[in-house]
Each structure stands twice: as structure tokens, then as C-alpha cells.
Amino acid sequence: MRAYHIAILGASGAVGKEICQILEERDLPIASLKLLASKRSAGEKILFRDEVIVIEEVNAHSFQGMDLVFGAVDEKTAKRFLPYAISAGALVIDNSSAYRLKPQVPLVIPQINREDIKKHQGLIANPNCTTIIALMAAAPLHRLAKIKSMVVSTYQAVSGAGHAGMEELKKQMQAELRGEALPIQVFPYPIAYNLIPQIGDFDESGYSSEEWKLQREGRKILHEPNLCVTCTCVRLPIMRAHSEAITLFFEDAISVEAAKAALKESEGVILLDEKEQAVYPMPLFASGKDDIYVGRVRASMHDQTHSLTLWCCGDQLRKGAALNAVQIAEAAIELGAL
Amino acid sequence: MRAYHIAILGASGAVGKEICQILEERDLPIASLKLLASKRSAGEKILFRDEVIVIEEVNAHSFQGMDLVFGAVDEKTAKRFLPYAISAGALVIDNSSAYRLKPQVPLVIPQINREDIKKHQGLIANPNCTTIIALMAAAPLHRLAKIKSMVVSTYQAVSGAGHAGMEELKKQMQAELRGEALPIQVFPYPIAYNLIPQIGDFDESGYSSEEWKLQREGRKILHEPNLCVTCTCVRLPIMRAHSEAITLFFEDAISVEAAKAALKESEGVILLDEKEQAVYPMPLFASGKDDIYVGRVRASMHDQTHSLTLWCCGDQLRKGAALNAVQIAEAAIELGAL
């Protein structure tokens, strides 16, 4: 079996570190692993399968000889460096939003639109965390009865803002208990004991960039150009798993039983739905797990036959980011696209 | 001006104490104030307007001579003792869910259905916190374009479970920081750094009792027997203000501008909606305030003319409970119904 020369750009960040860990756990055959980051993180050491790897500062020549490059940096850094990786002949799997909506770039959740991988021209985009978690729950139902529109409210963890976001919540909680002023750097307002109903910037429509992602990425991944997603994205004092309350409006009739059966059979989805035993997904228990947990599946009050409401949770750093990226690579290998 | 003999049943609880504080702040004329609770809290002292009042153990004769009785106890205790208060000739304003759906009992948010107070037969029910906060935001828009249905996701504070709920969150946060096991007594799972998508018990429909409240109480308060509310109620690690993401579906067309103008003019509502300045409601800032804060008003993605999405926050103990109860009493006086 062929082994691959792999690089991670942004290896010192929350998603980059998670990609390292997931590569350690899984069977993707690795010939070499190169860890890249900005000057600030260069020299930092990472232990990977009993081997110490030193993070190198990225430059235009860093990607020579690489087969596979994971991008785990912001949009601006992705646009600056990932074209070098493509030029060097690597397959790039990018976690940023830089290329997600480009027509020639596949945007992939392997359990949903795996075949799109074949169309890549050197880069495959990893969807936004909120999109992945929502669609892992919604796609099995879309296949049953075609979703026309969705109303989504999110309950998003601070890990979406990286290590810095997690550190800020911890520090604010400590300050709160000591009765001290809360340090505010990452989020626009205190997040300890608070919610912030803004993730990203608002445009003229009144929606935030995070809310637009689920609308636009959802259409692309499901190949449904008319799908409508009305989303409210909210940041919460939760560490690293996102939750979402989703109401789905279907073209065809769908029963709760059929929906549960479809979710139960879905790869990467765990149905946790036993109301008598108070069994339902919660972020504390979804943290660190690979699957998306779905529960509280019920008919909507306003339409008992063509609308369902459900609740789902998933680890934002794993399936919401790093794991999905690695699964794209695995699928690319299986499809002969790498 | 006539002054009233007032009793609070449940004076040692979170809502009872808040009623005391609100009576201190406002102008309802008080001839005497009697504080009642279970045996466990009897003897506890409360400072009210420079006077020490000792909490008395409630019994069947406690309500003799009372004009106005606030019930701030659970359903069972309300059913046991409040009938004595009605028999004694008092007007009872009950915060529990015991009588809310009885046809002869007005269920009132004074800014919305004040006239219903006139029909009371000795007892007026105070709606559930989630209902009050949602309807304070929705009713001004209902008057404009008639709401057919709503999809609501709640972000509810631990104060909904009383003092014990708030203590549990604090203790769990302290234990979490010390790396100790989390003490769990009030909520079914840890609430620190977690969400619990269950408030109350589930029935066969898959909805929790808390979710049914907004459906059933909403119909009664708005006098709309066909209103449909699809609700997901979630408990969060937030102290005492609830937030709600609400998508409204209207019979008639409604614009964002008209909706904002209506909210701006509504008594008890503050419109906080300036996207360029990152101004929107948040629980940390709604805590301890009397008004319901509404913002992020925008057209829904799936229907630009007949559907709006918004975000609202309100203090659960004040407008969500104690303040609304006192406002019912004030309105009853103005209407000559007390």
C-alpha cells in the first residue's frame, strides 16, 4: 500500500493539533509528516507516534514533495500559502472558508457527497463545523423526503475560536469566581455566564457570516440550489462541542419512525433518543467523540406530516473540522483521487 | 388611595424574594406584608423597607384578612394552599402552572391581554417565564400581521430551577476549576460547560412539559386557538436571564422596518438592533432588568415577506416571573378588579 508525504499547515492551532491526533489514531498510511505554522509557532515540538516533530515556519517552498496538505489556518493565510501546495502537486484539504464556494472546488462531507471528491483540481474544501454537524443529521432525512427549508438555532462552543477561545472562557470563569474583572480579548463581550448571538460579521441582510455558511454550504453539499436555511448562530460558554436545534420542512411526507430508522443506519451518526430514560445528545458527552449525536426527533407542531424537529451535537474540532478533513483524505485514496 | 394587605406564599424562594424586592421598588400601596413559606423556611427574616419581617409557616388560616396573595410555590403546594386564599376573599396571583390552563382563570401578560384580568374569579395565573419573554417580543408583531406559527429555540438560565439551580451551577463551576467531581442534585446531568435539552418531562409527542407551555399558554394569551408553536427548550450554564431564537410565520406580509417600529413603541420592550455596532440582546446585560430586549430582527431566508426571525432576552426572575405578577396586581387595581 502506498504511503503519503503529508503536511499540516497551521499545526500549532486547535484544528491542526486535532488533525495530528486523528492521524495518529487512524490508518491513513503516512510516509512522512511535516508540521508547518507561522514564525511565532516555529520550533514548537509535537510528539507524533513516539517521534518528536519540530514545527517549521511555512514558506513558498515548504510543500515540495508533499502528496497531501491539510490547511488549518485562517482564510487569509490559506489564500497566501495553499496555492504553493497545489502547484507542488499535493492534494490540499482546506479547513478555511477561502475556497469553499468556488465552483471548481468540491466541498465534501464524505458520508453525504463523497463522489464530489473525484472532481477536485488540487483542492477540496472542508465545510464549516456548523454545516457538517447539521447536515450529518439532516442528510439521511433529505434522502427520504427532500428538505425544502430548515430553521436552525445553534449552541456553539468556544473552540470555534480556536485555543484562544477556549483559554478566554477558562480565564473568565476563574476571574468570575475570584470576583475579578473578566479579561476580554477574543470575543466581543464576556462569554462566561453569557451568550453572544453573533459569530462573524453581519451583512445587509442581518445575517452573520456564520449563518450564511450553513445556507450556502448546505446548498452546495446537498446539490440543492433552492434549499433555504434560516439560521441563528450563538456562541455559548461550552468548551468544544456544538449543538443545534433544527426544524426541517420536507417536500414529501415523513414519519418520526422512518426518520429515526434512517438516522440509526447512517454512518457517523448515533441516534440517542429515548425520552423515557432522559437519553438525548449533550455537548459534554459529545466532546472528544467522532460521531454526530442526534435525538429528540419529533413531528413539528405546525405540520405533523411534512416537518420534523430534532436536536444534534458533535465535537466541533473532530467531525466539525479535523476528522472530516482526514475522512476526505481517506475517501480520496479509496476513490483513487489522491 | 386604598392600601392592600398582601401575602407572599413561597417568600423564601427565588421568585418569592424577587416579588418582595419588586414590591419594595414599585408603588403598589401596601397596608401590610405577610411572608409565608413551608415549615423549613419559617423563622427566616427578610428586610422590607427598613422593617424586619419574619417568614411564617403557612396554614389554612394564613390568608384571613388578605386582599392580595402572590403564589410563588410549586404546583402541588399552590393547589394545597391557594384555595384557602381565594376563600378568604383575596385576589390570588399564582406563578405556578397549577391553574394556568383552566378556562375560568385569566392567564395574563398585562402589556398583551390586560382586559382578561376583569374576568377573574379570585385567581389570575402568571404565565411561564419562556412564554412571557417570547410573547413580549411576538405580540407587537402579531398585532401587525397575525402570527400563524412559530419555531422557538430557548437558551434558559438555571434560575428557572430556583435558588437551588443557581447554587448547583456555582458549585459545579467551582468543582470544575478545582478538578473535583461535579455535585449533581437539581439537574439530571452536569450543567457546568454543558447544555441539557430537557426541561420538565416528555410526553408521547416527544415534547417536554416546558415546550408545551409555550404552545398552550401562547394560544390562551393571544386568544388564538390555532396558533402552532414548535419549541425546543434547553437549559444552559447561564445564571438568570433566558434567551430565545424565534422564527415567526405570518398570515399577512410584514417588513423588517415595520416590525422594528412596532417593537420600538412597545411598552416593556427595548429594541437593541444595530448590527454595525454589534448591538443585540445578551443575557448578561438583561439580568436584573425589567424589560424584554429584542434584536437581530431579519427576514427569514425561506420567505422574505411573511416570516421574520429574531432574538430576545429577558430576566427570568423579573419579567419572566415576579415582575409580571406584580404588574398583574397593578393592572387589576387600575381596572377596579382588586
**What's the rounded mean pLDDT across residues B315-324?**
97
Each residue's pLDDT tens digit, A287-309: 999 999 999 999 999 999 999 99
* Same-domain pairing of A91 and A136: no
Average pLDDT, chain B: 97
Each residue's pLDDT tens digit, A237-286: 999 999 999 999 999 999 999 999 999 999 999 999 999 999 999 999 99
pLDDT band (50, 70, 90) for residue A145: very high
Structural domains in chain A (count) = 2
* Same-domain pairing of A70 and A164: no
**Is some CB atom of chain A closer than 8 A to the CB atom of B195?**
yes
B313 included as an active-site residue: no
* Same-domain pairing of A16 and A102: yes
**Is some CB atom of chain B closer than 8 A to the CB atom of A311?**
yes
- Cβ–Cβ gap A245/B228 under 8 Å: no
**Is some CB atom of chain A closer than 8 A to the CB atom of B182?**
no
* Same-domain pairing of B138 and B225: yes
**Which residues in A lie closer than 8 A to residue B149 (C-beta atoms)?**
301-302
Q: What contacts A298, CB < 8 A, 6 or more positions away?
A: A256, A308, A309, A310, B205, B206, B207
Cα A168 to Cα B304: distance, rounded to the nearest angstrom? 38
Which of B173, B281, B283 lies closest to A177 in CB terms? B173
Nearest to A173 by CA among A192, A152, A190: A192
**Is some CB atom of chain A closer than 8 A to the CB atom of B245?**
yes
CB count within 10 Å of CB B181 equals: 10
**What's the rounded mean pLDDT across residues B162-186?**
94
Which of B205, B228, B239 lies closest to A302 in CB terms? B228
What CATH number does the domain containing A16 carry? 3.40.50.720
Cα B338 to Cα B330: distance, rounded to the nearest angstrom? 9
* Same-domain pairing of A136 and A106: no
Give the model's pLDDT for residue B265. Answer: 98
Distance of CA B19 to the CA centre of its chain: 12
Q: Which residue of A has its CA nearest to B177?
A: A174
Cβ B238 vs Cβ B128: under 8 Å: no
**Which residues in A lie closer than 8 A to residue B173 (C-beta atoms)?**
173, 176-177
Question: What b/e readout covers A199-225, taking b as 16+ CB neighbours within 10 angstroms?
Answer: beebeeebbbebbbbbbbbbbbbbeee
Which of B173, B205, B247 lies closest to A298 in CB terms? B205
Q: What contacts A170, CB < 8 A, 6 or more positions away?
A: none
Q: Which helix (H) or strand (E) holds B130?
A: helix B129-145
* Same-domain pairing of A232 and A268: yes
Write the DSSP assignment of A260-284 as a string of letters.
HHHHHHSTTEEE--BGGGTB---HH
The domain containing residue A143 runs over which residues?
A: 131-316
* Same-domain pairing of A151 and A245: yes
* Same-domain pairing of B270 and B143: yes
Q: Say which amino acid occupies B270.
A: I
Which of B205, B257, B282 to probe by mutation at the A interface, max A CB count within 10 Å?
A: B282
Each residue's pLDDT tens digit, B204-222: 999 999 999 999 999 999 9
Q: What is the ipTM of this complex?
A: 0.96
**Is some CB atom of chain A closer than 8 A to the CB atom of B206?**
yes
- Cβ–Cβ gap B230/A190 under 8 Å: no
Which chain B residues in 142-171 lie under 8 Å from chain A, judged by CB atoms?
A: 148-149, 151, 153, 155
What CATH number does the domain containing A260 carry? 3.30.360.10
Establish whether A235 is an annotated binding residue. yes
Each residue's pLDDT tens digit, A20-35: 999 999 999 999 999 9
**Which residues in B lie closer than 8 A to residue A309 (C-beta atoms)?**
151, 230, 232
Task: Taking the CA atoms of A46, A49, A50 and A54 in sequence, report the sign of the dihedral they define.
Answer: negative
B242 included as an active-site residue: yes
Which of B230, B244, B277 to probe by mutation at the A interface, max A CB count within 10 Å?
A: B230
Cα A157 to Cα B330: distance, rounded to the nearest angstrom? 42
Using left for φ > 0, alpha for ψ between -120 and 50, and beta otherwise, residue A65 falls in left
Cα A93 to Cα B54: distance, rounded to the nearest angstrom? 69
Each residue's pLDDT tens digit, B66-93: 999 999 999 999 999 999 999 999 999 9
* Same-domain pairing of B308 and B175: yes
Rg (CA), chain B: 20
* Same-domain pairing of B13 and B92: yes
- Cβ–Cβ gap A309/B232 under 8 Å: yes
* Same-domain pairing of A153 and A234: yes
**Is some CB atom of chain A closer than 8 A to the CB atom of B301?**
yes
∠ CA A106-A107-A112, nearest 5°, is 110
Which chain A residues in 210-229 lie under 8 Å from chain B, judged by CB atoms?
A: 215, 228-229
Diameter of chain B measured on Cα atoms: 59
* Same-domain pairing of B203 and B294: yes
**What's the rounded mean pLDDT across residues B32-43?**
97
Each residue's pLDDT tens digit, A159-200: 999 999 999 999 999 999 889 999 999 999 999 999 999 999
